[in-house]
Structure 1
């Protein structure tokens, strides 16, 4: 399994995945930088960091997952290399499980990078405008915990996107699912039923006043997400034509 994972990571290094992994968190950091630079009074660290997590969970995460899963799937669909991969002397499920683990690993790295780059952007901005230095404590533990919950709650969304991207040779179905999910998540932000919608589960981690929403979205996003990932791997491994 380690050999398969190593191959998948090497494939990513030769693709646009690295650019995506850097660009998405960087855009949030750039937004934070210029937003602070135009400020008139200092704001708490919590405002900057939680806002960054919110932008990531609400919009950038779903769109990044859509692009990443389509990219990972197209690396095999494009050159039509599935026949070669599936003829290798190893269980087919490992091929798909490795892709799932690589996608989750990249999403986790992007999540951590969002926190780090936001901190860097705010720190850089305050060296230029010291009067706007954030107030209050910088509770990295709390921010990391919240971002970790966002990542775990996003597993169901990742599973659906990856299953769709690997199932269809065309990248269009995966893009339609991702764009559609993000659209309905944005237009129905305040809907109570959003806690059961995979694309809204990550952002529900920021609803601190309603513990039931956090627990429900986290349980479904992570628990059901792992089940769906397992089903996707089993289903794709049995198919003769991916």
Structure 2
């Protein structure tokens, strides 16, 4: 809600306007940064690893084209969701937070006539936007990888068009399942100024995911394993997505409450 402060002070704009302005500022700050480039570099690295693995693998009986495409697509998306996605969110959250932590920019930002909450929400939305962009790049690069493999390794059986419905469906589910880990890392990165704390937490959680993610009992509840859990046969995808969304809302509300009370000056 808008209102005027002390005499001569600028009025606080309505919340949606304030959030839009803050998001626009985030977009400008991201131009040319490592955080933006990682949206291309990280997916390209994962796709390149899978392509090289297939190029140097021993050929068996060629698969039918549909199965060959499924093998390639799920191989890339599984590696991305299980390993790179949690690390990507970790790094991007830390880089976004350091835009303000570095040089103590919070003092200037929080002095603006804007609700405190918009700064937190802008970081959260920016992080999710970067992840969505990276997820889209992964999807686009899979058909490119398929074209390369048709030339370099025709014995794999790849032919025809990529399975776009499969790619889009799996990527969309993985993105929605990432809501909780995005909310967690936004809170962690903004709460602690240390880049090492923000990255170390995510790296440790990702490593633990190698064990917890394989547990039938706990894997589908562990935040850093939720994206890859949506790819498993027989997975309760609806429950996983609902849990991720509801828990993300609760974490965000807790983060907003703590951010309002904390002294970032």
Q: Answer whether TM exceeds 0.5 for this pair.
A: yes
Return the offset for 1:34.
1.6
The answer for the alignment partner of 1:222 in structure 2 is 245
Q: Which residue of 1 aligns with 2:87?
A: 63
Q: 2:42 touches 2:88 (CA, 8 Å); kept in 1?
A: yes
Match of 2:243, SS state, is helix
CA distance in structure 2 between the aligned counterparts of 1:135 and 1:189, rounded to whole angstroms? 33
Is the 8 Å Cα contact of residues 173 and 227 (structure 2) preserved in structure 1?
Answer: yes
| 8 A Cα contact 1:32 1:118, kept in partner | no
What residue number does 2:230 align with? 205
Answer with 74-83 or 113-122: which moved more. Answer: 113-122
Q: Show the 5 A alignment for 1:34-183.
A: 34-39=52-57, 40-41=59-60, 42-43=62-63, 44-134=68-158, 138-183=162-207
Please state how far the C-alpha of 1:135 moved relative to its aligned partner: 5.3
SS of alignment partner, residue 201 of structure 1:
helix
Q: What whole-Å deviation, never above 9, does each CA across 1:137-188 have from its counterpart, x for those lacking one?
A: 7321122111111111111111111101100111222122201210110123
| Matching residue of 2:14 | none
User: Is the 8 Å Cα contact of residues 78 and 231 (structure 2) preserved in structure 1?
Assistant: yes
After alignment, is 108-117 or 42-51 more displaced? 42-51
- Provide the C-alpha distance between the structure 1 equivalents of 2:153 and 2:200, rounded to a whole number of angstroms: 43
- Contact 1:52/1:115 (<8 A) preserved: no
Gaps of at least 5 residues in structure 1 are none
Q: Please state how far the C-alpha of 1:194 moved relative to its aligned partner.
A: 1.4
Q: 1:66 to 1:120 in 2, by over 3 A?
A: same
In 2, the alpha carbon distance for the partners of 1:140 and 1:123 equals: 14
Question: Does the 8 Å contact 1:36/1:122 carry over to 2?
Answer: no
Task: Indicate the SS of the match to 1:199.
Answer: helix
Any unmatched runs of 5+ in structure 2? 1-18
Secondary structure of 2:104's counterpart equals coil
Number of aligned residue pairs: give it: 240
Offset at 1:28? 1.2
Is 1:238 the counterpart of 2:261? The answer is yes
Contact 1:205-1:217 within 8 A present in 2 as well: yes
Residue equivalent to 2:5: none
- Measured against aligned partners, the alpha-carbon deviations of 1:48-91 in whole angstroms (never above 9, x if no partner) come to 10111111110000001110001101111111100000000111
Q: Following the alignment from structure 1 to structure 2, what is the Cα–Cα distance between the partners of residues 190 and 131?
A: 32
Paired residue for 1:23, among 41, 51, 68? Answer: 41
Separation (CA, whole Å) in 1 of partners of 2:159 and 2:153: 14
Alpha-carbon spacing, 1:137–1:13, altered in 2? closer, same or farther (3 Å):
closer
Secondary structure, in 3 states, of the residue corresponding to 2:225?
coil
